[in-house]
Amino acid sequence: MDLNVLIVGGGIHGAGLLHDLATRNLRGIHLVEQNQLASGTSSRTTKLVHGGLRYLEHPSQWGLVREALRERGILLRNLPGIVRPMPFVLPNFRGGRPPWLVQTGLTLYDLLDRVSGLPSARRLTHAELAQMAPYLRPERIAQETGSAFLFYDAQMQDDVIVRLAVRAATRLDATYQEETRVEDVIREGTGFCVKLASSRGRQEVTARVIVNAAGAWCNANLLRWGVTPRVPCLLDVGSHLLFRSQAVPARPEDCAATLLQHEDGRVVFFIPWEGRWLLGTTESALTGTPDHWECPAGDRDYLLKVAAVNLDLAEAERHIEEFFCGIRTFPLRASAPAQAGQPAPGIWRENPFASPFYKRRLEKDVSSLSREAVVDEVVPNLITIYGGKFTTYRALCEGVGDRIADRLKCARRSGTREQESWFLDELRETEPGLFHSYSDLRHG
């Protein structure tokens, strides 16, 4: 198989790039995923499409917020029902930020959004807060809440978006394989010979461009392919609890979501999702490797403590339906070692997660790290995507797609801004199972 582009990784960035390149009428575009589509972090998110309200505290991040709000609007328009508006209540407890400061932040959030058409933020009475968020402890509303606000963001079916992007791409002649590993990458001139392995056997393909979009495995892939990375990264675990609907004496679809600032300063979301209640997330160091790891034992207790302090849940532990975790990748400042792009030492190829390109600890809090993605090309035509937010995946993939299209002399622009590129009506009729979120992906 002779390819123009081989994409490695079937999460949101791999799927999004396959979709982007297919809308440009590029041929010879193929994706491989070692497990199932969306079986990694892309099915284990907090299910939000949002601008990141908390990032407004850092003016350097306003550009990221603006981009995320623009992309939120595009996804709301293109994927109705799969991405949908979500009201949020924001209780401001006494001793917290001055109400005028919260109102100013929410007004700025609205001003940065020019495309979604969502309602503007407003102040709430205590009675409105109790009605929209009946899961909040009544005594916290009555005795500790100085002010409260309503604003809007959006929520999603994350794994559904990944599968739809890939299936839409196949309507435009792109191809993909699941349960397929990349065993080796060999440079040949300006391109590559790639050895693939699956249950169906082994095969070799050639590719003019390779995109390494494997999330936590990105640097491991480079090292196993014999390439020394340039960008180190930190792997961080985010955990969630999913409660049955009975945990709250109100229908989830009748309630707003909320965000709570725990006593340690961390922001935690409580969200009605798919007829249940989702609480998360955490920030814990990864123990083990992405190939062999477990959810941090303390994360479940941490989230239950957040619930006990803030939420009026009926027998919270008894109503836990799922405890799931995902691995976030934070790109760190590129060290530009002299050996970057050169053959990787054998010891790193055999045990890449023990290499200096995976950091275990940071001196500063993980929450202070930027969520902006890094796109690096340490070897010509071998592009690696690090980090990033689900919300802004389309814009990131459009940028990478522009780079590849220019290199392959393709003049056609990305079509992923247009709803027609998703083939939603056709896919609903021919593949209705694509539109359901599957819990087994979160536990594979």
Domain parsing of the chain, residue ranges:
2-43+159-232+332-443, 86-154+235-329
Provide the b/e sequence for 283-317 (b: ≥16 CB within 10 Å). Answer: bbebeebbeeeebbeebbebbbebbeebbbbeebe
Q: DSSP of 355-403, one letter per residue?
A: STTEE---SS-GGGS----EEEEEETTEEEEE---STTHHHHHHHHHHH
At residue 342, the pLDDT reads 64
- Assign 329 to helix, strand or coil: strand
How much is the mean pLDDT over the chain?
92
Q: Does domain 2-43+159-232+332-443 correspond to CATH entry 3.50.50.60?
A: yes
Torsion of CA 314, 318, 321, 326, to 10 degrees: 90
* Interval 252-286: pLDDT, tens: 999 999 998 887 878 899 999 999 999 999 988 88
State the distance between the two ends of the chain, measured CA to CA, in whole angstroms.
30
Q: How far apart are CA 74 and CA 69, in angstroms?
A: 9
Instruction: Answer yes or no: is pLDDT of 367 > 90.
Output: no
**What φ, ψ does residue 118 adopt, rounded to 5°?**
-75, 155
Is 60 exceeded by the pLDDT of residue 341? Answer: no
Rounded to an integer, the average pLDDT of 137-152 is: 91
- Do 394 and 75 contact (CB within 8 A), yes or no? yes
- 386-429 pLDDT, tens digit per residue, is 999 999 999 999 999 999 999 999 989 999 999 999 999 999 99
Give mean pLDDT, residues 155-182: 98
Contact 86, 41 (CB under 8 A): no
The band of 292, judged by pLDDT with boundaries at 50, 70 and 90, is confident
Residue 70, pLDDT score? 97
Distance of alpha carbon 118 from alpha carbon 442, whole angstroms? 30
**Strand duo 320-331 + 201-212: pairing:** unpaired
Residue 211's pLDDT is 99
- C-alpha to C-alpha distance for 128 and 150, rounded to whole angstroms: 10
The CATH H-level superfamily of 86-154+235-329 is D-Amino Acid Oxidase, subunit A, domain 2 (3.30.9.10)
